[in-house]
Amino acid sequence: MVHGTVQVLGPVTVTVPTGTSLVVAGTNGSGKSTLLALVAGTLLPRTGSVETLGRPAHETRVTARERLSVLTGGFGAYRELTVRDHFRLMSAGWRLGAQAGTSDDAVVGDLLDRTELASVGDQLPHELSSGESQMLSLVSACFRPSDLLLVDEPEQRLDARWRAQAVELLRDARTSGRTLVVATHDPTFREALADVELVLEPRAR
């Protein structure tokens, strides 16, 4: 992948079987975020091809977006809605309460308790700490239904307690049958999640 005259990602060949995790590692500037953007279909490859969920990635992004959950640049939160309100909106939109045979409030309450976000459930997004905001983003990406979950550096701004919680969230997503592509610097995430590992080499300068 080339931006202008700069190669930001060299040739890569990798296949991720359904229900497994690909961990993408490498130094800053090696192309991890670029690779996730290609898989998400927000970038088009200059050469070669990228298939996501059985079709060209840019088509999947348009025609099968309900199967694809992406966290690569933070969560677009509504300033006027609390953390609890955001999850209520998501639950209602995806009909999660109806699917579980219960109410959306019950689904959201259970989620907040399981992810230790209950203490900030009535806070607005801009009132959260940077770590809490990152967990809101990650939990939101995992909460919505999807077949493929793409996450770029989930460890950002998280302390040790939140990192352990984040690892469990992603492991649970994989256990539920989802396919994961996770870019990370953190050895704990790599060890816990890597069914397949791809280590990108830094580009020549």
* Whether residue 204 has pLDDT greater than 60: no
What is the rounded CA–CA span in Å between residue 78 and residue 164? 27
Q: pLDDT of 19-59, one tens digit each?
A: 999 999 998 888 899 999 999 999 998 888 999 999 999 99
What pLDDT was estimated at residue 201? 81
* Whether residue 3 has pLDDT greater than 60: no
For the chain, the average pLDDT equals 91
* Whether residue 97 has pLDDT greater than 50: yes
Nearest to residue 19, comparing CAs of 192, 170, 174, 182?
Answer: 174
Nearest to residue 108, comparing CAs of 128, 124, 129, 93?
Answer: 93
Share of the chain above pLDDT 90, in %: 81
Nearest to residue 182, comparing CAs of 167, 202, 164?
Answer: 167
Give the architecture-level CATH label for domain 2-74+141-200.
Answer: 3-Layer(aba) Sandwich (3.40)
Residue ranges of domains in the chain:
2-74+141-200
Tokens of 149: 């979950």
What pTM, to 2 d.p., does this model score? 0.90
Q: pLDDT of 126-167, one tens digit each?
A: 999 999 999 999 999 999 999 999 999 999 999 999 999 999
What pLDDT was estimated at residue 48? 87
Residue in the block written with tokens 């490498």: 26
Residues 6+ apart with CB under 8 A from 85: 78
